[in-house]
Chains A and B, each alone.
Chain A
Amino acid sequence: MPNAFSTDRTVLSPRISRFISSIHEEKQQITLMKNRDFHGKLNSDDWGYVYYPDFKFDPPESDRPDGLITGYVPIAKTLRKFVNDMPTYVNKNSALGGAWVRVIAEHANIGVRPEDRPEHLYDVWGKYSTRPGCFGMNHCAGDMEIGLTLGWGGLLRKIRHYRRLNDPSDTSFYDGEEEIVLGMMEFASLVANKASELAAGEIDPDYKRNLLDIAEMNRKLAYAPPDTFREACQFIAHFQTIDRIYYAGGALDQIDRFLLPYYEKDTREGRLTDEEAVWHLASLFFNDTHYSQIAGLNPDGSRDTTNRLSFLVLDAIHYLAIPVNMALRVHDNVNPALLRRALEYILEDGSGVSFSLNIGCEQGYARNGYPVELARQRIKVGCNWTAIPGREYPLQDVTRANMGMALHWALQDIKNGSASDRTLEMLFDRFAEHVKIIVDSIKEGYDWHYEHISRNTPELIYNLFMHGPIERGLNCAEGGVDILNFNIDGVALATVADSFAAIEQRVVNEKRITWEQLFDALDRNWEGLEDTRLMMKNIQRFGAPGSLAEKWALRIRDHFVAVCKSSGTPKHNLPIIPGMFSHGTILELGKELPATPNGRFASEEISHSAEPDPGFARGLNSFSPSLKATAVAKVQPGYGNSSPLHLDVDREMLQREGGIDALIQLIHAHNHMGGTLINMNCLSKETLLAAHKKPESFPDLVVRVTGYSAFFVTLSKEYRQQVVDRFLA
């Protein structure tokens, strides 16, 4: 590891600049096609798939009467056929070949056996609009070094070696994994052939050379491991391809670590310039928006891991100018030039990396009983979530415990009980009981998940890149890896806290309305009672300093965390980690929730993650990023899973003298206050409102929706409104 490295911005030659701007334009075209067919309703990561509207896939015949494709071998055979049958994409402006074309479930009946579905839990999950997470897929991360060291050929030998060594009575685990690897070897060969074919017809010598290089590289990678930086990027691109096809997996690894040896070797030997490395990285990001991280502490905590490659990653994101999901792990001694560069690029581009914070993530994770040295290796590889690549099965971001529904049922209990039961404490007791029912039902579902997932939809891709599954012959979700964790995300915190505060202030303290009138207003969805609704809404809401709602938010958080952590799952005692992340489910969960006492209408969205609702800062306290950041930091669940802070910063503020310094200070302060993740946009009000009105006029506007980035134009009106509301808060 060099002690000193350049922190300069990479300056691109016209040749490299042409390559990168051309793949940017290609991306625009692909996005426009997707948007045309999906009508601005993608609402997710701007996945890197190349859209072939006419592609049809004929899956292998199922061995089941119901036609379902399930289990190791049937799914793996289907995936192998899919990568052979799908159109082979090679772009002469990209340094890398290949692309994925859609998630396989859209083309084949893949899933869980009906007899394995937890029907006994459906009623309780339905009652509370619970997203239970049972049979959740792909929320884990591989150690990319395993694949880069072995290559597809080495992985094949490893599978065959351990199949012989373990000699299991049922070899389907190994047979399935072997199908995957064989499929990827064939896929690399197909890419090589396609590149050769295109090279033959290419007149431009520069493009011809590039296509021939892609062909040669892929021929080698069909069997051998990568040796160069470009080959390593190509191998990772193929991993991204198969990972996305199977259940839209999106987790990568610490990119400035696993690619560093290749970068150092190639630059030392004069084979690679920085601008070429930027092109290769841009090509990798064009291939797909997998989640990755740069910077952070090394395992013993003695130094920051930032290196030259960390800067090149930022340069590549900047020059490519499409949504890329990169996190920068912040700690007290993070390279200051890297942090500043990341913010400079956000100022210039409007969006960029997110900031994963070490104190909340690492010390929080250590509270689960893990050494902090291990916690430092738990990096951000999902839209909000973290994992120890290759070593942890951390199932996160697949559950939603809707505390809004717990409040709804608590209100029903009080309403239907005796008059003497109509107290705030009784309401909270009932709420607490319903939260416990929700959490317990998710835990029960996780036991079911643990027992059934492997024979239905195993983690066929990640198993190859993890420490243990191949060695043991076990899916990572059932003990293939040493560390298993199961996350439960509580949502609607501000909705519920504001509701309790409104009841305390208006019903109990001020006695402006009775309980009966409140129940009536909720039943009527506030119809004809606008004044009453505004009375309940316009209190000091969560986020306002010293508010009643903040007190309730803390109490609710404490209860939710306590019921999550009080025990593992009932049957297998699997460990639970609480979180508060909502993603875009605030819309769909809101649609299922009746009116709430905070003045919210039935079907309106619920609050986001651990954040105050837009408009919370009023009167004496003007809105400020720090006010929101303080509120979010205070209610973190505290066990290492991210509960993000979304900041949409006014460009004018950031451009002023000291603006970037102020944001640096805010990031460090949020870290020290226990925050875990900051997602940031830098926009002007005028641009955002104009883009909301006519999104197709702003095809280049990239925004950070939550933990992921997307083209603004691809979002539905409701999702765009979320971003606008946050900005105008």
Chain B
Amino acid sequence: MIDPEASGTLFNIQRFSVHDGPGVRCVVFLKGCNLRCAWCHNPESISPRPEILFYQERCIGCGKCTDICPRGAHIMNEGQHVFLHELCEGCLACAPTCYAEALAVSGVRMTTDALMTQLLDERPYFGEQGGVTFSGGESMLQIDFLERMLAACDREGVHCAIDTAGNVPWSFFERTIRYKPIFLYDVKAADSDVHRRLTGVDNTRILENLRRLSDIGARLWIRVPLIPGYNDGEMRAIAVVCSQMNAERVEIMGYHRLGESKYAALDRSDAIAPQTPSRSALEDIRAVFQEHNVNAII
């Protein structure tokens, strides 16, 4: 039995990433998020609990899942497998019976020791600059596990970064800063109403945490997602926010569409599909930041 206090719920380990912090990094994606960004490209990260993903195209119609599901969430309709997500209570009994891997579990509980074993296998690739990045979801929501992982990495001399949207109590940050991580801090909108409309929450606490991190001299990389049609109008105000922060780096990150297949797997019809911004659109936004003396990376 895994001690819940010593384990976390992960949904992905992405090795050899050059996108999430300095150098080559191993990115650990923790499950659970308290924002509801309309464009989220990791929709499986939102629920804190393990859940079933259904990939229709892999199904061979064996029917084993229909036999085992206690809630009748899997049915065969004219030879076609239909997964009734709303009936699923998350027992996960169906996935191990699905050898075609049409049903897969997103979310694995893992102890700090087991995760460290995997991360240390990657250490030769980190070089002088790289390390581990904890992302999500909102990685800070699993603060007990995160703190243990930061301590374990610190003992091994592995550098850490924390990718966060900042919507957590300041006390959570206080538990991490002693390990001197880089905070990859998302700023999605500067206006609170806009932020609420886009993510479901206002940004008062988010901006306050950002300011406090800046004030104490924490290592900050501010990351600004550019979602065409959603937050383009916020860029100038975000640039002002960035100009007031003591950030090592500001990145403008264009929306990408890699998460679309996951919405289908989760039977989520609420996905939006903005266009990926063009290079020239990103250049224009960079120029806006430049006007506020912020050298943004695109």
Q: What distance in Å separates the Cβ of B122 from its nearest Cβ neighbour in chain A?
A: 6
Residues of B within 8 A of A545 (CB): 117-118, 121
Secondary structure type dominating chain A contacts: helix
Known: A546-B118, A662-B24. Contact between A669 and B125, CB under 8 A? yes
What are 21 A-B pairs at a CB distance below 8 A? A531-B100, A532-B99, A545-B121, A619-B104, A619-B105, A620-B10, A620-B108, A624-B14, A624-B15, A626-B125, A629-B125, A656-B18, A657-B18, A659-B18, A662-B16, A665-B24, A665-B126, A665-B130, A666-B125, A669-B124, A669-B127
Q: What distance in Å separates the Cβ of B56 from its nearest Cβ neighbour in chain A?
A: 16
Which 5 pairs of residues, A with B, have the shortest CB-CB distance?
A: A624-B15, A534-B99, A669-B124, A535-B99, A626-B16
Asked whether, in the complex, the Cβ of A662 is within 8 Å of the Cβ of B18, the reply is yes
Known: A531-B60, A656-B19. Contact between A620 and B13, CB under 8 A? yes
Alpha-carbon separation in the docked complex, A534 to B18 (Å): 34
B residues 1-39 touching A (CB-CB < 8 Å): 10-19, 22-24
Q: Is A621 an interface residue (CB 8 A)?
A: yes
Known: A658-B18, A662-B16, A665-B130. Contact between A672 and B124, CB under 8 A? yes
Closest partner residue, chain B, to A617 (CB atom): B15
Alpha-carbon separation in the docked complex, A622 to B19 (Å): 15
Asked whether, in the complex, the Cβ of B124 is within 8 Å of the Cβ of A673, the reply is yes
List chain A positions with a Cβ less than 8 A from chain B: 530-532, 534-535, 537-538, 545-546, 618-622, 624-627, 629-630, 653, 656-659, 661-662, 665-666, 668-669, 672-673
Asked whether, in the complex, the Cβ of A626 is within 8 Å of the Cβ of B18, the reply is no
Residues of B within 8 A of A537 (CB): 99
Alpha-carbon separation in the docked complex, A619 to B50 (Å): 13
Q: Is B260 an interface residue (CB 8 A)?
A: no
Alpha-carbon separation in the docked complex, A588 to B78 (Å): 42
Asked whether, in the complex, the Cβ of B297 is within 8 Å of the Cβ of A657, the reply is yes
Alpha-carbon separation in the docked complex, A632 to B10 (Å): 26
Q: What distance in Å separates the Cβ of B81 from its nearest Cβ neighbour in chain A?
A: 13
Q: What distance in Å separates the Cβ of A545 from its nearest Cβ neighbour in chain B?
A: 5
Alpha-carbon separation in the docked complex, A538 to B15 (Å): 21
List chain B positions with a Cβ less than 8 A from chain A: 10-19, 22-24, 60, 62, 64, 99-101, 104-105, 108, 117-118, 121-122, 124-127, 130, 297
Residues of B within 8 A of A625 (CB): 16
Alpha-carbon separation in the docked complex, A669 to B130 (Å): 13
Closest partner residue, chain A, to B108 (CB atom): A620
Q: What distance in Å separates the Cβ of A664 from its nearest Cβ neighbour in chain B?
A: 8
Alpha-carbon separation in the docked complex, A41 to B88 (Å): 52
Known: A538-B101, A620-B11, A627-B15. Contact between A530 and B60, CB under 8 A? yes
Residues of B within 8 A of A619 (CB): 104-105, 108
Alpha-carbon separation in the docked complex, A9 to B71 (Å): 67
Kindly identify which residue among B17, B23, B99, B117 contacts A661, using a CB–CB cutoff of 8 Å: B23
Asked whether, in the complex, the Cβ of A621 is within 8 Å of the Cβ of B13, the reply is yes
Residues of B within 8 A of A624 (CB): 14-17
Of residues B16, B101, B122, B297, which shows the largest number of chain A Cβ atoms within 10 Å of its Cβ? B16
Residues of A within 8 A of B15 (CB): 621-622, 624, 626-627
Alpha-carbon separation in the docked complex, A532 to B130 (Å): 42
Residues of A within 8 A of B126 (CB): 665
Other contacts beyond A620-B13, A626-B24, A627-B16: 14, CB < 8 A: A534-B60, A545-B121, A619-B105, A622-B12, A622-B14, A624-B17, A658-B22, A661-B18, A662-B24, A665-B23, A665-B24, A669-B125, A669-B127, A672-B124
Asked whether, in the complex, the Cβ of B127 is within 8 Å of the Cβ of A665, the reply is yes
Alpha-carbon separation in the docked complex, A656 to B20 (Å): 12
Alpha-carbon separation in the docked complex, A326 to B60 (Å): 46
Alpha-carbon separation in the docked complex, A545 to B118 (Å): 7
Asked whether, in the complex, the Cβ of B297 is within 8 Å of the Cβ of A546, the reply is no
Alpha-carbon separation in the docked complex, A658 to B23 (Å): 7
Closest partner residue, chain A, to B58 (CB atom): A534
Closest partner residue, chain A, to B25 (CB atom): A662
Alpha-carbon separation in the docked complex, A625 to B121 (Å): 13
Closest partner residue, chain A, to B297 (CB atom): A657
Residues of B within 8 A of A531 (CB): 60, 62, 64, 99-100
Residues of A within 8 A of B104 (CB): 619
